Structure 1
């Protein structure tokens, strides 16, 4: 069955740039674009000093991945460029990741990477190469609506990446294409085998690419030593309960690592106060959030959000959508949401459509909202 690539037609005379990470998804996209008859150019970004992670199979954009992307491009007979974006990635993603921890937040570097290096810088490269569109291997759908291109969830809920792409602007969406949004992963691997691609059975990347060991604290402590300063652990009233070895080891909602005995109920991280190196803990019910204030909102729906319109919001990539309302700045939940942390993204949906989203700047605890 022909694959609907949603690319500019007719194929003859059209040039498409494909973002090739070296994984099976982007490799299949490149193969499908070539098969459809488009002039295809593969572009791979070197994002960091890959020497330390080249042997890891759980990251993307490492040295072995660049080699795999080149092999696929050679197999397909297309031009392939490797661009050094290490400095831009360090400034836009790695430093932001460390700064977020230093502010007591929970960062999402994959969103920042898509927002900056991949969809800002790479899109510029594609246009400079005279491409009619930039295609990527993301699992998300681009749907032509009455008012232009819309962003929708992928049909495979286990692979959907729409949460990580909420910051995609309308102008970018006009130029981007996501050929895999209507497929399941098994179909993608079938295509890879059909095209005889060397990466057909390559494992998916899992860890944050620049922290292949999973030890985020070690990287943050190296870049921002102040995050490792010990401090007090206090309860909601400010009563000291113990000491911690650095806020870098904690995020909102965490239970593990709070070494305080003799408590009547389990304690969870409720808040981090980096100005005083204080860790605020409390019972699980204290984690309930009634609303969240969002910053740097990117809205893909109508010009102005309708504060009375029932919507759904995800405050973590793996969280179930929660019923909510949004007035353009404040996201109010129908029932208290748990584990909402400043620094994370809140992505707002109307059914399968991504209406927009923003960064969680502040939260209103449910118990305070009820008291008011």
Structure 2
């Protein structure tokens, strides 16, 4: 197995064997896992140790300096040694079938710099490669910063509101099949996960940053393996929760954990039959329009925002923050259109959901004026105040967008 680092010692390319061992689908996914501290390449005098929340493996290394169009690089050949015992037991998934294909390099940003292939006759690793499940197309860090829709986030983390008591249904048959295990095994692993979460509560609430980080990483990876997106998102949010909000966020995690159920909910037919019997209509709700909002004449409200400060605070590369901001700007335009439509339809709940969605993203990116106004929209219960709040949000947003676009061109 090989990987390549640039002059800043950042991993920019990795062989497919290494990506498979670390259970990441691409070099981009590996890069972001490293940025999140979920995977660490720890250099030592006699080699390097690759650490994950589940285990760590030590390797002897053979390095070779490379010269490329992008500057000096280093090719690192990993020679496996005996790995340490895994610290947390995880579900055993079916190993990927051997194909006999050569081990190709995956390059960061898909740039065709060069390709290094390992010979199939190379010395076999003494460490059994981690099994690989079918991977869902997702980017952990982007999911943390940019949820894909308001509907996915509302009800999962209710900032400042009473946590929903609605059960969180797990389709055991479907989920177990996607992982490649039996429903019985899945239920066993799910029970073990809940037991592990309960055992780690003290670490999550600890003042020791190392204990909190280890507990968070463990719970994140296990929930990801078990395909528990609601739980995974809450744990992701814990990494960026302000200190004063940590206790409530942890409580929300355990409250949500207690609502997990494998009992199948009523089918749509049963719900319709129930609604007919009770004389209620669950198909739709009647809303009275709040009117229309014209944002074309809104004047920008300027404020200072520095990408570098946000990057430093989040301990992430500036380029990555800029990439997130580009996606946030695109998403804000789309969600604002939905917000205006909901306003015309008198749909207060949808407006609050969109406020919640965008507020979380703005807060994570440290765009505080935007976050503050969106917070007010999220918890606004008086429709007569919405127009002023939406216009104030938009005034901050267009100022931010203009400022960012001007700076990013220089």
TM, length-normalised to structure 2? 0.25
Rg (Cα) greater in structure: 2
Higher relative strand content? 1
Q: Which has the higher contact order (CA 8 A, sep 6+)?
A: 1
TM, length-normalised to structure 1? 0.27
Higher relative helix content? 2
